[in-house]
């Protein structure tokens, strides 16, 4: 009889301990994040230049901010190029100097964003074909929402 009672207690408590572990896993996963950054100097010798982040998932961000923590998953980042190249001349008028990039954020990763200048398209200012928004570097970086 004692064995049966002990076995019943174990069978009754196991599902609840599994639920507690599942709740902890969900909470830990919801605290995970990745980082996008425009702070580090891009390699100009590879025709990669600074960008400013204008909005994330359609929400405007503070001008001058250099990095953001984002939840893992897909995001849309609107960036504005800051290309300074001797082969590039800025002209007044219509010029598409922004791109919206799709990026898949992974937990504990840092993504450095930049503008890749395409010299052969330097005259295609209205269509924005003179540059591409890119991730020019990725690194591992611990990240969690507080």
Among 90, 69, 64, 57, CA closest to 144 = 69
| Confidence bin at 20 (pLDDT 50/70/90) | very low
Among 106, 100, 116, CA closest to 140 = 106
How much is the pLDDT for 30? 76
Q: What is the pLDDT of residues 61-107, one digit of tens each?
A: 987 788 999 999 999 999 999 998 887 877 766 778 999 999 999 99
């Amino acid at each position: 009889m004692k064995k049966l009672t002990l076995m019943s207690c174990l069978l009754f408590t196991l599902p609840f301990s599994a639920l507690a572990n599942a709740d902890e896993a969900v909470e830990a996963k919801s605290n995970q994040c990745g980082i996008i950054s425009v702070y580090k100097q891009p390699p100009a010798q590879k025709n990669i230049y600074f960008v400013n982040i204008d909005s994330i998932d359609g929400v405007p961000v503070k001008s001058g901010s250099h990095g953001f923590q984002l939840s893992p998953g897909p995001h849309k980042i609107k960036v504005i190029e800051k290309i300074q190249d001797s082969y590039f001349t800025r002209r007044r008028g219509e010029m598409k100097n922004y791109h919206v990039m799709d990026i898949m954020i992974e937990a504990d990763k840092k993504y450095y964003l930049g503008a890749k200048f395409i010299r052969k398209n330097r005259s295609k200012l209205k269509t924005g074909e003179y540059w591409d928004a890119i991730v020019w570097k990725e690194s591992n970086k611990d990240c969690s929402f507080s």
